[in-house]
């Protein structure tokens, strides 16, 4: 094995024997204590920080590398898993079978709910006294694609039952992402759970901030985290997600952990995903191991994060994989039967001799959600000329379609570097038009609609109307302002600039007034280039935005019909800018939104240019003509791409709310002024 040395193995085996002899099947009391400005697990009276992994494979390695806990998704084989964990000195967060609405369970059916509760009762009675047990996990991502809030009543009933039967262990439930609605439900309906568990990938670094923003002040743990998710990365025009290589993954695992789990005093630890291997989009996306049990560079990182020591022998490091001289983000098209060069660049930190192997697969079509089981595509042999070389040739398959080329580079010590590149085989050059369009879409040189604000007084009523009041509990975001219409105090044009002003004055039960201008039915557009030049207000508590919503909501209420955020900024995070899109499949309520963030100095001192290019194939976002955001049309359903209908502008300055007010509102910032030099729309040319 790569990391386990003889001395470690010997000590571990002796330790196992001693534990096995001493096992007396008594529970170990586990509680949460509030101390040192945060929370700590106390297990048998001693502090216990979870250094865990999801999965039950290679538990001996996890122990040797500094880990102390595993997490399961069900009680299947729980007896053996708990026994094995105990022999190794590990604990277990044991998953309980709680059915999800997306799998057909009806939480409005009392009989189904009662039967489920009784089944869980038997599981708890069977394992409650095991000395390896740490916590019970009630279901997995029950908030994924659900609509019935009664699921949270059922979760609380399960938690109450567990505490009655087992006073010695913690109880939690695992949520997909972090969003206000679910946390509000948990606060209201689930008082019996001891802590919350969240599962995030690309957004891990912002978890402490997100947890605070939804008002959760209790302890939490992260029960799934890992690489950038397949829903969070760039996709090719044929809807293949571009996977990070093993070295890119190692870098983001380390940086995201250190920014969140490793620093937040309210976090009780985590379970990295996945301590094993599985097919999910690809055979290498989420697993820290190959099917043969080889370890990639992420395992090195986990050993460092858990033990603060790097392994003596490090995994190979991959820097690039090219097909026909192109990387994955170049969207590689090849012709049937033709031969192309392929090259992977890998080095070994220890100078070990490297062995290379290649594998060609069809692009996976058995795509599931929430980690449900997927079938691995069958390998296509005989297409790589010399499978043992880092530089060789690939003969493209004869059949048109989507493929993915994988490479594995091993060091002889059970360590491996992995990378893959998706490509598309086509004899018809026109099939590449979607990719080519990224460079050929053109826009009119002159605006087809604009407001230059070269007049005095109220905004032009032929272009702008107002949203008025504080509907939907502060516009759905718990905002603290009341939007007024046609008031020179809150929206005034002069000296070539529109000024939207937020004032500290009570109206409609809110402590502040402001304005929200909308171009609905006065400026509605399908595709185009949308520009606004603006200077942002400064001060904790404000939340200016330039954005777009659908005019007719063809696919239903938000988020089904989409949202395009050209600019968002919150005053407590000065100079940090956000561009996003929201859809039914990708939105902040389920933590899957497509978004980009960048820092630009002086956004409250000078005017900057904010722009979105919206075409049938993509939406790209720019700040001062620098691209920072891109989302592709996956050509699936409206859930992924509702952006085929007309949208209109919104210009507003919100105060407070779930995001803008997460650190409170500084009343010394008023009057607070958002200045807009112009807004322009350029037509997408045929």
Spatial neighbors of 114 by CB under 8 A, at least 6 apart, are none
**Which residues make beta-bridge pairs with 567?**
546
HEC profile for 447-473? CCEEECCCCCECCCCCCCEEECECHHH
Spatial contact of 504 and 668, defined as CB atoms under 8 Å apart: no
Distance CA 515, CA 675 (A): 12
Distance CA 656, CA 668 (A): 14
For residue 316, what is the DSSP state? P
Distance CA 478, CA 541 (A): 13
Establish whether 280 is a catalytic residue.
no
Distance CA 82, CA 428 (A): 56
- The residue ranges of DSSP E strands in 368-462, in sequence order, are 391-395, 401-410, 416-425, 449-451
User: How far is C-alpha 65 from the geometric centre of its chain's CA atoms?
Assistant: 27
**Which residues make beta-bridge pairs with 402?**
424
- Write down the catalytic residue from 244, 563, 632, 675: 563
Spatial neighbors of 649 by CB under 8 A, at least 6 apart, are 517, 518, 519, 523, 530, 546, 547, 548, 679
Establish whether 563 is a catalytic residue.
yes
- Write down the catalytic residue from 568, 632, 640, 675: 568
Which token pair is 542?
């404000």
Spatial contact of 42 and 33, defined as CB atoms under 8 Å apart: yes
Angstrom CA distances, 625 to 531, 579, 588, 611, 628, stand at: 10, 13, 26, 7, 9
Distance CA 250, CA 227 (A): 8
Distance CA 604, CA 675 (A): 9
Spatial contact of 27 and 129, defined as CB atoms under 8 Å apart: yes
Distance CA 228, CA 285 (A): 9
- Residue positions annotated with a catalytic role: 563, 568
């Amino acid at each position: 094995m790569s990391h386990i040395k003889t001395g470690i193995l010997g000590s571990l085996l002796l330790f196992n024997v001693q534990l096995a002899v001493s096992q007396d099947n008594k529970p170990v009391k586990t509680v949460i204590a509030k101390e040192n400005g945060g929370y700590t697990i106390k297990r048998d009276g001693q502090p216990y920080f979870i250094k865990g992994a999801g999965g039950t494979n290679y538990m001996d390695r996890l122990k040797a590398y500094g880990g102390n806990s595993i997490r399961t998704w069900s009680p299947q084989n729980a007896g053996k898993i708990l026994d094995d964990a105990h022999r190794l000195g590990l604990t277990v967060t044991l998953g309980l079978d709680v059915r999800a609405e997306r799998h057909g369970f009806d939480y409005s059916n009392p009989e189904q709910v009662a039967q489920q509760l009784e089944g869980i009762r038997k599981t708890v009675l069977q394992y409650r006294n095991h000395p390896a047990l740490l916590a019970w996990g009630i279901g997995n991502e029950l908030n994924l694609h659900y609509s019935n809030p009664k699921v949270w009543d059922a979760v609380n009933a399960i938690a109450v039952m567990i505490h009655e039967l087992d006073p010695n262990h913690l109880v939690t439930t695992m949520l997909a992402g972090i969003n206000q609605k679910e946390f509000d439900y948990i606060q209201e309906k689930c008082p019996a759970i001891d802590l919350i568990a969240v599962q995030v990938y690309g957004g891990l670094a912002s978890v402490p901030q997100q947890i605070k923003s939804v008002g959760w002040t209790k302890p939490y743990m992260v029960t799934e985290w890992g690489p950038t998710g397949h829903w969070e990365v760039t996709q090719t025009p044929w809807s293949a997600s571009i996977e990070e290589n093993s070295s890119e993954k190692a870098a983001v695992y380390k940086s995201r952990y250190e920014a969140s789990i490793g620093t937040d005093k309210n976090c009780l630890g985590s379970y990295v995903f996945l301590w094993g291997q599985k097919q999910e989009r690809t055979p290498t996306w989420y697993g820290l191991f190959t099917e043969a049990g080889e370890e990639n560079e992420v395992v090195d990182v986990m050993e460092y994060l858990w033990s603060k020591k790097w392994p003596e022998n490090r995994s190979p490091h991959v820097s690039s994989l090219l097909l026909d001289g192109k990387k994955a983000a170049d969207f590689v098209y090849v012709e049937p039967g033709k031969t192309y060069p392929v090259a992977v660049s890998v080095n070994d930190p220890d100078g070990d001799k490297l062995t290379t192997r290649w594998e060609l697969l069809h692009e996976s079509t058995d795509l599931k959600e929430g980690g449900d089981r997927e079938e691995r595509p069958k390998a296509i042999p005989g297409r790589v000329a010399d499978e043992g070389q880092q530089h060789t040739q690939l003969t493209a398959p004869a059949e048109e379609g989507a493929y993915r080329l994988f490479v594995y580079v091993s060091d002889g010590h059970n360590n491996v570097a992995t990378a893959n590149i998706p490509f598309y085989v086509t004899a018809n050059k026109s099939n590449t038009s979607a990719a080519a369009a990224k460079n050929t879409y053109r826009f009119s040189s002159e605006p087809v609609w604009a407001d230059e604000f070269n007049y005095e007084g109220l905004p032009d009523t032929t272009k702008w109307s107002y949203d008025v009041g504080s509907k939907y509990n502060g516009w759905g975001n718990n905002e603290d302002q009341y939007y007024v219409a046609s008031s020179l105090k809150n929206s005034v044009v002069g000296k070539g600039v529109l000024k939207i002003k937020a004032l500290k004055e009570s109206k409609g039960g809110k402590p502040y007034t402001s304005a929200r201008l909308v171009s609905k039915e006065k400026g509605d557009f399908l595709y185009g280039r949308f520009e606004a030049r603006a200077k942002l207000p400064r001060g904790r508590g404000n939340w200016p935005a330039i954005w777009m919503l659908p005019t007719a909501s063809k696919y239903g209420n938000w988020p089904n019909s989409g949202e395009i955020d050209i600019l968002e900024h919150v005053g407590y995070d000065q100079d940090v800018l956000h561009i996003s899109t929201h859809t039914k499949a990708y939105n902040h309520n389920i933590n899957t939104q497509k978004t980009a963030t960048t820092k630009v100095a002086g956004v409250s001192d000078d005017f900057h240019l904010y722009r979105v290019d919206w075409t049938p194939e993509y939406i790209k976002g720019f700040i001062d003509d620098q691209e920072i955001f891109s989302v592709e049309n996956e050509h699936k359903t409206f859930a992924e791409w509702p952006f085929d209908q007309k949208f209109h502008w919104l210009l507003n300055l919100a105060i407070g709310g779930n995001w803008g007010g997460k650190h409170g509102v500084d009343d010394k910032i008023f009057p607070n002024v958002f200045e807009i030099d112009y807004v322009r729309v350029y037509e997408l040319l045929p």
